[in-house]
Amino acid sequence: MKIALIIENSQAAKSEIVHNALKTVAEPLGHSVHHYGMYTPEDKASLTYVMNGLLAGILLNSKAADFVVTGCGTGMGSMLACNSMPGVFCGLVIDPTDAFLFGQINDGNAMSMPYAKGFGWAAELNLQDCYRKLLENERGAGYPKERAAIMAKNRGILKDLKAASCKDMLTVLKTVDQDLLKAAVSGEKFQELFFTNCQDDAIAAHIKGVLAR
């Protein structure tokens, strides 16, 4: 699984902590981690939590990533921004139990975490425990097990509901503020990572056009 990490500007100083915690858990399980920034508070390309959501939508809908890990001070803003995108189902994960239940019940494709609120001593251990609970178990298996079938049915209903209520991602990219979009995709490693992994030619072409402006 290709996991994309996105960090917004207020928490950029913790980027290395989050990245290392995610790699420590994900890579031994056979997943790859692609860090889309921010990397430091001094990065020229500054990401807001709104941009986090836009990037998550681009990466997941183009299949450049299979799962997105993001967050902000509380995790709430990035979660809301992600869930405003078509095809993105993002959960707020604060502790390992949240991570386990989100993976088992909701089987979403993005998670948002608080990197300021409650981020104290041994915070990196909580990050690792959260990632482990999400990634080491079979996704969507249900909890409790006897409700697995109805949970799977509800996930399908929610997916259909979101598809009916949202525009497709290419339409979103064409109608969103193009300056906002360009700012979101201007990270120093975005082009290197995205165009290598993107599987949607139409989305890639539009992004190339925005970057060329």
Predicted TM-score (pTM) of the model is 0.96
pLDDT at 203: 98
Q: Which residues contact 128 (CB under 8 A, 6 or more apart)?
A: 21, 24, 25
Q: Average pLDDT of 195-201?
A: 98
Average pLDDT of the chain to the nearest whole number:
97
| Cβ proximity of 72 and 10 under 8 Å | yes
Q: Average pLDDT of 170-175?
A: 98
pLDDT at 68: 98
pLDDT at 147: 94
CA nearest neighbour of 213 among 180, 169, 166, 164: 180
DSSP track, 14-67: GHHHHHHHHHHHHGGGT-EEEE-S--STT-SSPPPHHHHHHHHHHHHHTTS-SE
Q: Average pLDDT of 33-49?
A: 97
Q: Are strands 90-92 and 110-114 parallel, antiparallel or unpaired?
A: parallel
Percent of the chain residues topping a pLDDT of 70: 100
Distance of CA 108 to the CA centre of its chain: 10
Q: Average pLDDT of 182-195?
A: 97
Domain that holds residue 88: 2-212
pLDDT at 123: 96
Task: Name the DSSP class of 142.
Answer: -
Q: Average pLDDT of 60-81?
A: 98
Residue pLDDT, tens place only, 83-121: 999 999 999 999 999 999 999 999 999 999 999 999 999
Cβ neighbourhood burial of 3 (10 Å; 0-12, 13-18, 19+): buried
167, HSE (Cβ side, Cα atoms, 13 Å): 8
Cα–Cα distance for residue pair 2/34, rounded to 1 Å: 7
Cα–Cα distance for residue pair 11/150, rounded to 1 Å: 38
| Cβ proximity of 81 and 92 under 8 Å | no
Cα–Cα distance for residue pair 118/18, rounded to 1 Å: 14
Q: Domain holding 44: CATH number?
A: 3.40.1400.10
Our count of domains for the chain comes to: 1
pLDDT at 144: 95
